Structure 1
Amino acid sequence: MIEAQQGICKRYGADFTPPEDSCVVGISDSALCGEMPLHGLRHPFEKGSTGWFIWSGDYSNADDFFKPVHLYHLQEDCPAALPYLALPPGWRFLIAPEYEDVWSDSSLLNI
């Protein structure tokens, strides 16, 4: 997986910034169910958190929209997101079958 992550970072000119496996991501139930398209954004990370928020379907501001899940669970629960998770804070991705978009969004750094 490291090679795939390095390849994504290199392709988009981003620093390789892999999160620690023991940290958590915020992920929606719909993303855990494998729904597409899959969205991801990374805020600056804090102790115990990768800074990643991943969802599919319609975004919600509901307090329970994102569930905390340890990164190592994503190998089974949401493997499609894994190649993108070494993008640094301030980056986003949107993927679907036969579609990929990755971009920098500096507004994510101002939280």
Structure 2
Amino acid sequence: MSVVISDGVYEGKDIEGIRYDSPQNESGWYLITDDYNDDIKSLKMVHFYHVAFARPDFLKYLAIPLGYRFLMKDGNIEIRQDEVE
């Protein structure tokens, strides 16, 4: 399973985790920090286990269902449901 991450995820920065519908071999998770520069080419696709070992602090939140996201700020995590358009 793969996860898409921005710079700063492995470094322990606060993140926003957004889950999208995805192909079977991808988790659909995009994990973005304030280091993300809005250039999609700067994102990296990595294997789930790399994120799991590097960031166990939010690992349990990767089980939330499609249509939700989480925001980590100063160690606190808030879960939000995405707005349906």
Same fold (TM over 0.5): yes
- Shorter-chain TM range is 0.7 to 0.9
Determine which of 11, 14, 18 is the counterpart of 1:41.
Answer: 18
Matches within 5 A, 1:2-21: none
Matches within 5 A, 1:34-73: 34-36=12-14, 38-73=15-50
Determine which of 72, 76, 86 is the counterpart of 2:53.
Answer: 76
Structure 1 runs, 4 residues or longer, greater than 6 Å off: none
User: As a proportion of its length, which structure holds more helix?
Assistant: 1
Shift of 1:99: 2.0
CA–CA distance in 1 between the matches of 2:51 and 2:75?
A: 21
| Matching residue of 1:13 | none
CA–CA distance in 1 between the matches of 2:73 and 2:51?
A: 17
Larger radius of gyration: 1
Determine which of 28, 37, 43 is the counterpart of 2:6.
Answer: 28
User: As a proportion of its length, which structure holds more strand?
Assistant: 2
Contact 1:28–1:56, Cα closer than 8 Å, also in 2:
yes
Distance 1:29 1:58, change over 3 A: closer
1:79 partner SS:
coil
Number of aligned residue pairs: give it. Answer: 85
Aligned-pair Cα RMSD in Å? 1.9
Identity %: 32
Contact 1:92–1:104, Cα closer than 8 Å, also in 2:
yes
Q: Under a length normalisation based on structure 2, what TM-score does the superposition of the two structures give?
A: 0.83
Structure 1 segments unaligned to the other structure (5+ residues):
1-22
State the one-letter code of the partner of 2:22: F
